[in-house]
Each structure stands twice: as C-alpha cells, then as structure tokens.
Amino acid sequence: MTTTTPTAGAATGTTGGPAVALRDVSKRYAGERGVLALDGISLDAAPGEFVCLVGASGCGKSTLLNLVSGLDRPTSGTVTVQGDPAFMFQEHALFPWLSALDNVAMPLRLDGVGRRERTLRAREHLAAVHLEEFADRRPHELSGGMRQRVALARTLATKAPVLLMDEPFGALDAMTRDLLHDELESIWRERRLTVLFVTHNVREAVRLGDRVVLLTSRPGRVAAQYPVEIARPRRIEDPDVAALAGEITAELRQEVARHGR
C-alpha cells in the first residue's frame, strides 16, 4: 500500500530529483474484482518540464492526475511530488457570487493571507492573464475563455511548483484556445513550473509539451513517449507540429483498435 508524498522544500527546487515521480503505480476501483484503471505505470517529470498525457477516453489520464494531486490514492506503487501541486480542471469551478478578484484571492484567504496583501497578489495574478480590467466582474459577466483565465490565475495564486491540468481548454473555441496556449506557455516559462497536462487534442499536446506520453487503453500503461524537439515558440498549425502529431495519432489509433478487439 502506498501514498502520495509531497516533498518538503520542493518549491525552490533544492531537493533534487524529479518534480513528480510515479513508481509502478496501479489503481483499481471497487475492490480486487473492480476496474483496473492504471497498471504498473512508472513516469517522471523533471522540474520545469511540460509533460502532456494523451490516450483514448477511459485510459486513466484523469486518474493519474488525481493520484498525483493527492485527491486519490494508488492501489499499489508510489507517487512522490516535490511540493503541493495545484489542480486546474476543464470546468472553471469559479464561485458565481464572487468577483474575479475574490475568486483568485480565495486560495490566499484560505492560507490566512491578510486582506490587503491577498488583494494585491490577486491583482498581480489577474494581470498575468491580462484580466486586471475585469477584476470586479462576476463569472456570468465573463466569456468562457475569460473564466478559464480567471481559473488559471486562481491556480497560480497557490504558488504551487507543480501544475496539474485536466483538459482545461477542451471546451473553448480554437482561437480562444490558441490565445490561452500563449498565456500558459509564457507563465510556465517565467515561473519555471512543472506541468502535467491531460488533453485529447494531440496537436495541442505537441504545441505545448516538452514531451508527450501516450497511454494505452484501459488499463492505462505507458505505451510510448515522444520528446518534442521543435523550437519554441510553436504554432498549432506548424508543419513540424502537424507531422509529430500525425505520428502520435497513428499510434493512438492502433491503441484504440487493439482495445476494440
């Protein structure tokens, strides 16, 4: 039996080793005869690395993030994380009765930060996603893309060194998603975050990632890993991005076909 273990002092990167380490991790739901979601996964993410996870629906991508975040526990194996990770979901999960500013300030409030300081810091995080002029707006007054930017600012307010993202841009239109790719990449580089990013969009994975990890169909195992050796900045329509995405997609199709048989 194992646990997810945050490593003290990791926010400064002084502990050495990977920022996230999974060692022979399996997860089975509903007891010994239940669904095996993940089977013997070993995977590292280096400090400051952007790792994208792709695979067929139900392959365990979200389960893996839940284990890294500590929201769930592995059935076997170990998960070690340098520092407390922050989680961003596909749904923005903003409090509808709070302004954008107060939504971003909520993690700081829960940490006991004084009102004046948390307001100042929340404004800084909103500025990082170019929403400082919308600080007083409530979620229903913002577009879908703007709500996701507020959610990103709120996640950044935790100061977590590891960012877990579960299809955060999946419900957005292509143009808004492209703009958020730019903002996320800028923040990632500036703050030297470690990112685990789940997506169904293979081009998105190649556009953003230092490495793309392909999981098998259930139970999830590591089928292949693809280093993305394409110079940044990248565009999702770049020929090199399209070529690598095509290679990964071909392997993904084979995984889906194997599962179907």
Distance CA 116, CA 56 (A): 46
Q: Please answer whether residues 96 and 140 qualify as being in contact, where contact means their C-beta atoms are separated by less than 8 angstroms.
A: yes
**CATH 3.40.50.300 region(s) of the chain?**
4-8+17-85+160-260
Alpha-carbon distances of 29 from 74, 93, 237, rounded to whole Å? 10, 26, 39
Amino acid identity of residue 16, one-letter, is G
pTM here is: 0.88
**H-run or E-run covering 14:** none
Alpha-carbon distances of 119 from 136, 148, 151, rounded to whole Å? 12, 20, 16
Q: Is it true that domain 4-8+17-85+160-260 has CATH number 3.40.50.620?
A: no
Enter the tokens of residue 5. 């273990």
Q: pLDDT in tens for each of the 261 residues of the chain?
A: 344 554 443 333 445 789 999 999 999 987 666 788 999 999 999 999 999 999 888 788 999 999 999 999 999 999 999 998 999 877 778 999 999 999 999 988 888 888 999 999 999 889 888 899 999 999 999 988 899 889 989 988 888 999 999 998 887 888 888 888 998 999 899 889 999 999 999 999 999 999 999 999 888 899 999 999 999 999 999 999 999 999 999 999 888 777 655
- Count of alpha carbons within 13 angstroms of residue 73, beta-carbon side: 6
